């Protein structure tokens, strides 16, 4: 998987475009809130890094890393849905209205303040799967956290951000129960369900910068981290699946973090996605998941500091 390289100026422009788009949708963007704060940090550091002293770098860089970590998610949602008419975006707007709140740094997030990033994760899942050119579209009017339309099938998605391994089982059970209720409200055989689980905070509270020797090592290590997590805990959700609705066919996992590639001296935003199917999924459902995975494949995005 190659790594795309954007300048800090380019990332700043993309983020400004996302902010302007959200504002045009009627979403209140407070300059004192986290959205305005990230823009301020990036606007300063995109030029100041060239002449910053070591002391200034040590003082500002942690905020810069944290801001970059958050910025890419809003940019991704804008890229996916920015060209759609506003009347189709009611559900996304509701999510973003909540997502712009919350603490500035993910490391400061607590139970009562987690809602903002929970809603942003739902919007990010919708953005990630929305690939109309590949025959895969987000169902923006879904009553579940989001939905996916592939050919004649509708896949309902329940999203969970899990902050510790000890909370994994409860979150998987809750999502499966929510999907079970959704199936009870739907008529027809063309409905399926999947879970979308973000495990980022299990690995990183939000203030850690990973270091790798090069791009290939970075991609490989990200894949290995998530693959090992899935392999280690697969029996848990397969055991839960066995007692839940047969139309629940698998789980999407996401792991995101900031890293630095020493070979290219880049600050890299790494978003790695994986999918594990239900052990007894039918051949048709496995094919459906393969089509979904193919549509979700996307390059890692980096920002160049030169």
Q: What string of pLDDT tens digits covers the 306 residues of the chain?
A: 445 556 788 889 999 999 999 999 999 998 889 999 999 998 988 887 767 665 666 676 778 888 888 899 999 999 999 999 999 999 999 999 999 999 998 888 887 889 999 999 999 999 999 999 889 999 999 999 999 999 889 999 999 999 999 999 999 999 999 999 999 888 788 999 999 999 999 998 776 778 878 777 877 888 899 999 999 999 999 999 999 999 999 999 999 988 877 776 667 788 888 899 999 999 999 999 988 988 887 544 444 444
Query: Rounded to 5 degrees, what are φ and ψ at 124?
Result: -70, -40
Tally of domains in the chain: 1
Query: What confidence score (pLDDT) does residue 14 get?
Result: 95
Q: In this structure, are residues 210 and 200 in contact, taking their beta carbons and an 8 Å threshold?
A: no
Query: What confidence score (pLDDT) does residue 188 get?
Result: 82
Tell me the Ramachandran region of residue 151: left when phi exceeds 0, alpha when psi lies from -120 to 50, beta otherwise: left
The DSSP string of 261-286 is ETTTTEEEEEEEEEEEE-TT--HHHH
CA-CA-CA-CA torsion for 280, 284, 288, 289, nearest 10 degrees?
A: 20
Query: What confidence score (pLDDT) does residue 298 get?
Result: 55
Q: Any idea which residue has 């979308």 for tokens?
A: 196
Q: In this structure, are residues 276 and 229 in contact, taking their beta carbons and an 8 Å threshold?
A: no
235 contacts: CB under 8 Å, gap ≥ 6: none
Helices marked H in 150-282 — which ranges? 168-185, 200-203, 215-242
Q: Classify 294 as helix, strand or coil.
A: helix
Helices 34-48 and 8-24 sit at what angle, rounded to 10 degrees?
A: 160
DSSP secondary-structure letter at 103? -
Query: What confidence score (pLDDT) does residue 242 get?
Result: 95
Cα–Cα dist 301/298, whole Å: 9
How many other CB atoms are there within 10 angstroms of residue 253's CB atom?
Answer: 21
Cα–Cα dist 8/268, whole Å: 11
302 contacts: CB under 8 Å, gap ≥ 6: 3, 4, 5, 6, 261, 264, 266, 267, 268, 269
Identify any residues that bridge with 114 across adjacent strands, giving them in sequence order: none
Q: In this structure, are residues 136 and 149 in contact, taking their beta carbons and an 8 Å threshold?
A: yes
The residue range of the domain holding 110 is 3-304
């Amino acid at each position: 998987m190659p790594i795309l390289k954007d300048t800090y100026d380019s990332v700043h422009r993309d983020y400004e475009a996302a902010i302007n788009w959200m504002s045009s949708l009627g979403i209140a963007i407070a300059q004192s809130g986290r959205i305005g704060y990230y823009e301020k940090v990036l606007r300063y550091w995109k030029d100041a890094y060239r002449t910053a002293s070591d002391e200034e770098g040590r003082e500002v860089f942690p905020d810069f890393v944290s801001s970059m970590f958050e910025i890419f998610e809003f940019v991704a949602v804008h890229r996916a849905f920015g060209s759609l008419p506003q009347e189709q975006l009611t559900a996304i707007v509701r999510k973003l209205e909540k997502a712009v709140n919350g603490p500035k740094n993910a490391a400061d997030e607590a139970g009562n303040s987690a809602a903002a990033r929970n809603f942003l994760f739902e919007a990010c899942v919708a953005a990630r799967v929305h690939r109309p050119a590949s025959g895969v579209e987000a169902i923006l009017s879904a009553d579940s956290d989001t939905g996916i339309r592939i050919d004649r099938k509708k896949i309902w998605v329940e999203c969970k951000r899990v902050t510790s391994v000890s909370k994994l089982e409860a979150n998987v059970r809750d999502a499966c129960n929510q999907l079970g209720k959704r199936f009870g409200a739907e008529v027809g055989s063309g409905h399926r369900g999947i879970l979308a689980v973000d495990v980022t905070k299990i690995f990183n509270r939000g203030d850690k910068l990973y270091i790798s020797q090069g791009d290939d090592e970075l991609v490989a290590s990200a894949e290995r981290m998530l693959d090992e997590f899935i392999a280690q805990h697969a029996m848990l959700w397969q055991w839960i699946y066995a007692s839940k609705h047969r139309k629940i066919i698998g789980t999407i996992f996401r792991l995101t973090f900031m890293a630095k590639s020493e070979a290219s001296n880049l600050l890299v935003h790494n978003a790695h996605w994986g999918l594990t199917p239900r052990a007894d999924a039918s051949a048709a459902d496995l094919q459906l998941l393969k089509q979904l995975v193919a549509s979700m494949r996307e390059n890692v995005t980096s920002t160049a500091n030169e």
